[in-house]
Chains A and B, each alone.
Chain A
Amino acid sequence: MGAIGGTLIRAARRFLSSLPALFGVLVFTFLLMRVLPGDPAVFFASGPNAGKEEIEMIRKQLGLDKPLPDQLAIYLYDVGRGNLGRSMMTGQPVAKDLRERLPASLELTLTALLIALLSAVPLGVLAALRPGSLVDHGVRLFCSLGVCVPTFVSGLLLIYVFYYLLGLAPDPTGRVDVFTTQPTAHTGFLLIDFVLAGDLDGWWAAARQLMLPALTMALFVIAPLARITRASMLVSLGSDFVRTARSVGLSRWRIVVTYALRNAVLPVITIAGIVFSTMLGANVLVEKVFSWPGVASYALDALLVSDYAPVQGFVLLMASVFVVVNLVIDILYGIADPRATVA
């Protein structure tokens, strides 16, 4: 009880201390967007007849005709009320866009992370059990390849093989086949919503659609996870308690999994957290290649056309996700290693 309470208090404290940082991010992005060259009013007034009047009209509509401090004050007031502004690009409120797109990104990233962890941890352990062996070199080669090949190349390659040549994968356009009706959104996670709707065909369609992009992303992050697992396993296998466990004749499985791995898992969790946050924002290429309606490609499109509100909303969202992920990692630390609560 005491340990859990301590973890929670620590997490709450962490959360409070991150609030000023979030505010800083908010103001900084706001200013940055306005310092960057590129006037959204001019870009969006691009109908075949748009003249000065249209540009002024859009500028007014976006509130860009007011002085900068006023704009900032209005923006902060709006954000305080949960209004992130409206995207010119999609014509929708940014909060709504992000709410619809975040689950898509999360579903993809979590699946990819799961695949990555499920393959990286055993690979790392195998490599650590026989350092310098053929297995170790094989794992190293596989990891290097995964990191070397940019995600859009591996993505296009997977599409070419599994969709174009073999026809095994469904067409790489979004989260579900266009001919499948979408389930009512409860969580926004299609795999969960389809189960809730009791639609197994739909679930399978969504799962098939998810496979290639998730694999593409997983390939890219297996390397850091496998390397860190190997390194920390090597340390923990060489430590005194493992030697003791061996000397008292415990089973090999018990030694490796229960004693060595549990002690080696802390750095893996840290890296997994960082990898997760990075993936969520940086998987824009995967989202583009697979027409995945996620937040990263949304933000990139907005940035290219200087659509302020979505970019600001995205950065704020990413900062918040980062804070939450760090909190979760803190809590996981406490579970993996009770000593962490004291620190």
Chain B
Amino acid sequence: MRLFIFRYVIAAVVAACVISAPAAHAQSRAETLRYVTGASVNTLDPNMPGTTREAFALSMGTYDRLVSFGRKQLNGKWVFDLDTITGELAESYSVSSDGLKLTFKLRPDAKFHDGSPVTAEDVKWSLDRCVTAPVLGKAQLLTGSMTSADQFKVIDPLTFEVTLPKPDKLALPNLATVYAMIYNSRLAKAHVTEADPWGINWLKENEAGSGAYIVESFRPGEQVIAKRNEAWTRGTPDKPAFFKRLIIQTVPEPATRANLIERGDADLVIDLQASDVQALEAKGKLKVISTPQYNAVTFISMNNRIAPFDNINVRRAIAFALPYDDMFKAALFGRGAPMFGAIWADGKPPSGGYPIPQPVKLDLDKARAYLKEAGMPDGFATTFSFNVGQASSAEPMAALVKESLEKIGIKVDIQKLPDAQMSTAINEKKLPFFTEGIVAWLPSTDYFYRNFYTGNQRWNYSSTDNAEIERIAQAARFEADKAKYEEEGRELNAIHFDQMFQIPLWQPAQDAVMAASLDGYVYQFTRQVDYRNLSRK
């Protein structure tokens, strides 16, 4: 008898759960965006050193900047547009005729999440913090000639002015990047301490923005849940963001992410394995938008100061000994924009952009000739390194590199390094031959050459030290004439190919896999999703 009652109770409980659970879900599901990722958000303030890319993406939604990038179509896909800058917190902006003064008129209706209005004082505090405090924004704003708090001036509560030492093309775009976000200075100042005058510790875990989304719960390494800010009307069509709720969830296993999106439990994922993307695209149930990451490049890099790669002919030999097509297929399943196999009509670069497809292809005879010219007809031995985090694409590629170089007598030892170890070795300039990628938020030719081909620093993978490159890139930075800038770009590209500092391989595609009902995806400079762009049909 007792057993019978017990059974009955269990059955009732189970039934209650099964019946009540799905009904509650269905209501909110269509208005919720569930985004799954292998990475995680580690801070609410992306200015903190060590911030992850997912945290950048979240902050684009929780905070506003003075201005933001527009969008343009590139081969039929929407991407961010560096050349169209629209107001975000600024209602309008103007650049003085000498290019030295940027004036911003703030929106009078803009409010922070606590209801207080956004004023020029908040803008000043935020940008002062960016160039003064030990935060990531410092190095970024430097690239737009903003280095000191003296450059930022409050004219009246709704007018703000930036003064530049030189007319810098990148000043305005810099104010649209992640770091130049505007904090609620009154709120932040209430939480500063003597040791931490810029509230770095407090802002890491508390959000003080005016953006489209308000953080509801933040569990680092697990998930972030945000709700829509109904008062936010700074999107392009002047209404709040579409999704009422935003769930950013960490799911480390790529196969599980693929399952979730295929079953319709997740709405959007951008970091699936290429093979899974291929399979999901073939099934045709989901929407797959593949955008070549046009502000990023993957290289095979050679340290120009370590023998034998200090020999220009060795570098050229390598460039003609790589099985580009096979590598592209094996590493990325051909998903991306190739940077090889171009034909330069008169041997000159056809464009001043960066990066552009190089006139290199697999040609072992040519490679052998270069090796002979380098005085090493019998080849040599070296190591080829890549990091564990890139293994799914780099591992098949490394095997092909090894196999092909063996044919011209170069013995390659493949070295797979944990991520931190790899970045340390690169920083210390210890690796002779490796694959790595770069990315620039503001992809202009001079920016790439200045940051990735000069100086004894981590991002100069090839340890290039070339006076010509440095001179032309510096001159191009402040070049106002578009035709001249293009010409300088061509010169830089010509030197790059001639000297073969390193070998650009491709721009990998960003494969955004999403529910068929999702609309409005734009490839952003952060290489992340801007949740404000998205809506459901």
A binding-site residues for B, Cβ under 8 Å = 36-40, 42-55, 57-58, 61, 88-92, 97, 100, 156, 159-160, 163-164, 167, 171-174, 178-179, 200-201, 204-205, 288-291, 293, 297-298, 301, 303-306
Cβ of B424 and Cβ of A179 under 8 Å apart? no
Could you tell me if B421 and A306 are in contact, using CB atoms closer than 8 angstroms?
yes
Question: Which of B14, B222, B457 interacts with A204 by CB under 8 Å?
Answer: B14
B163 near A: Cβ within 8 Å? Answer: no
Q: Which residues of A contact B253 (CB under 8 A)?
A: 156, 288-291
**Contact-residue size bin, chain B (C-beta under 8 Å from the other chain):** 35 or more
B345 at interface (Cβ–Cβ under 8 A)? no
Q: Is the CB of A37 within 8 A of B136?
A: no
User: Which residues does chain A contribute within 8 Å of B420, judged by CB atoms?
Assistant: 38-40, 42-43, 304-306
Cα-based distance from A77 to B220 in the complex (angstroms): 27
Question: Of B24, B25, B49, B389, which contacts A61 at CB under 8 A?
Answer: B49
26 chain-A/chain-B pairs, Cβ below 8 angstroms:
A37-B421, A39-B420, A43-B420, A43-B424, A44-B50, A46-B423, A47-B136, A47-B139, A51-B455, A51-B459, A90-B42, A163-B259, A167-B263, A172-B256, A173-B251, A173-B260, A201-B21, A205-B21, A290-B253, A291-B252, A293-B222, A301-B221, A303-B418, A304-B388, A304-B418, A304-B419
| B505 interface residue (CB < 8 Å to A) | no
With A38-B418, A178-B247 as known contacts, state yes or no: A159 contacts B440, CB within 8 Å: no
B260 partner residues in chain A, CB cutoff 8 A: 171, 173
Q: Is B502 among interface residues, defined by CB-CB distance under 8 A?
A: no
What's the nearest-Cβ distance from chain B to residue A180, in Å?
8
Alpha-carbon distance between A47 and B255 when the two chains are bound, in angstroms = 28
Residue B469 is within 8 A (CB to CB) of chain A in the complex: no
**Which residue on A lies nearest to B26, using beta carbons?**
A179
Closest B residue to A298 by CB, please name it. B221
Q: Interface 1/0s, chain B 237-274, versus A by CB < 8 A?
A: 00000000001011111011001101101100000000
In the complex the two chains form, is A179's CB within 8 Å of B25's CB? yes
A51, B458: Cβ atoms under 8 Å? yes
Point out the residues of chain A lying under 8 angstroms from B457, CB to CB.
Answer: 51-52
Task: Among A50, A159, A173, A178, point to the contact of B136 (Cβ < 8 A).
Answer: A50
Instruction: Check B419–A305 contact: CB distance below 8 A.
Output: yes
Asked if B535 is at the interface of the complex by the 8 Å CB criterion, the answer is: no
| Chain B residues, CB < 8 A from A291 | 249-253, 256
Q: Which residue of A lies closest to B177 (CB)?
A: A48
Chain A residues, CB < 8 A from B48: 91
Q: How far is the CA of A52 from the CA of B428 in the complex (A)?
A: 11
A295 and B43 CA atoms in complex are apart in Å by 20
Task: Choose from A163, A179, A297 the contact partner of B28 (Cβ within 8 Å).
Answer: A179
B256 partner residues in chain A, CB cutoff 8 A: 159, 172-173, 289-291
CA–CA, A297 and B458, complex, Å: 29
B490 contacts A by Cβ under 8 Å: no
Chain B min CB distance to A122 (Å): 20
Query: In the complex, what residues of A have CB within 8 A of residue B223's CB?
Result: 174, 178
A334 to B459, CA, bound (A): 63
| Complex CA distance for A38 and B423, rounded to whole angstroms | 8
**A44–B458 Cα gap in the complex (Å)?**
12
Residue of A37, A50, A291 contacting most chain B CB atoms (<10 Å): A291
Which B109-157 residues sit within 8 Å CB-CB of chain A? Answer: 134, 136, 138-140, 142-143
Q: In the complex, A160→B258 CA distance in Å?
A: 11
Given contacts A47-B136, A91-B43, A178 and B259 within 8 Å (CB-CB): no
Does B20 sit at the interface, judged by CB under 8 A? yes
Tell me, yes or no, whether B16 is within 8 Å of chain A by CB. Answer: yes
In the complex, are the beta carbons of B139 and A58 less than 8 A apart?
no
- In the assembled complex, the CB of A87 is this many whole angstroms from the nearest CB of chain B, namely 8
Residues of chain A with a CB closer than 8 A to B421's CB: 36-38, 306
Q: Mark B1-23, 1 if CB is under 8 A from A, else 0.
A: 00000000000011011001100
| Contact yes or no, B424 A38, CB < 8 A | yes
Per-position contact with A for B28-44: 1 when CB-CB < 8 Å, else 0? 11001010100010110
* CB atoms of B49 and A54 under 8 A apart: yes
From 417 to 455 in chain B, residues with beta carbon under 8 angstroms from any chain A beta carbon are 418-421, 423-425, 427, 439-441, 451, 455
Give min CB distance, A94 to chain B, whole Å.
12
Bound-complex Cα distance A163 to B256 (A): 10
Chain B hits for A44, CB < 8 A: 49-50
Docked pose: A252 CA to B124 CA in angstroms = 85
Residues on B with C-beta less than 8 A from A156 are 253, 255
Using Cβ atoms and an 8 Å threshold, which residues of chain A touch B459?
51
B458 to A42, Cβ gap below 8 A?
yes
Chain A residue numbers with a CB within 8 Å of B28 are 179
Bound-state CA distance A36–B247 (Å) is: 37
Q: Are B16 and A48 in contact (CB-based, < 8 A)?
A: no
Bound-state CA distance A269–B21 (Å) is 40
Least CB separation from A287: chain B residue: B252
A208 to chain B minimum Cβ distance, whole angstroms, is 9
The reply to whether B423 and A43 contact each other, CB–CB distance below 8 Å, is: yes
How many Å from the CB of A239 to the closest CB on chain B? Answer: 36
Given contact pairs A39-B427, A43-B424, A58-B49, enumerate 12 new A-B contacts (beta carbons under 8 Å): A38-B424, A50-B49, A50-B458, A54-B49, A58-B50, A167-B263, A173-B256, A178-B223, A178-B249, A179-B25, A293-B221, A304-B420
Residues from chain A with a CB closer than 8 A to the CB of B49 are 44-45, 47, 50, 54, 57-58, 61
Closest residue on chain A to residue B425 by CB atoms? A37
B136 near A164 (CB under 8 angstroms)? Answer: no
- Give Cα A289 to B40, complex, Å: 16
Query: Given contacts A42-B424, A43-B419, are A49 and B143 in contact (CB under 8 A)?
Result: yes
Q: Does B373 contact A (CB under 8 A)?
A: no
Contacts of A303 in B (CB 8 A): 418
User: A92: which B residues are within 8 A, CB to CB?
Assistant: 205, 220
Query: Is the Cβ of B458 less than 8 Å from the Cβ of A49?
Result: no
Any chain A CB within 8 A of the CB of B233?
Answer: no
Please tell me if the beta carbons of B220 and A90 are within 8 angstroms of each other in the complex. yes
Is B51 positioned at the interface, with any CB of A under 8 Å from its CB?
A: yes
B250 and A91 contact, CB distance less than 8 A = no
Other-chain contact of A174, B16, B20, B249, B458 (Cβ < 8 Å): B249
In the complex, the answer to whether B16 meets A53 with C-beta atoms within 8 Å is no
Choose one: B17, B139, B255, B389; the contact of A54 (CB below 8 Å): B139
List of B residues within 8 angstroms of A49 by Cβ: 136, 139-140, 142-143, 451
Closest CB in chain B relative to A40 CB, distance in Å: 6
Q: Does B372 contact A (CB under 8 A)?
A: no
Q: Are B424 and A39 in contact (CB under 8 A)?
A: yes
Q: A39-B427, A159-B259 are in contact. Are A47 and B14 (CB under 8 A)?
A: no
Kindly provide the distance from the CB of A45 to the nearest chain B CB, expressed in whole angstroms: 6
Chain A nearest Cβ from B419, distance in angstroms = 6
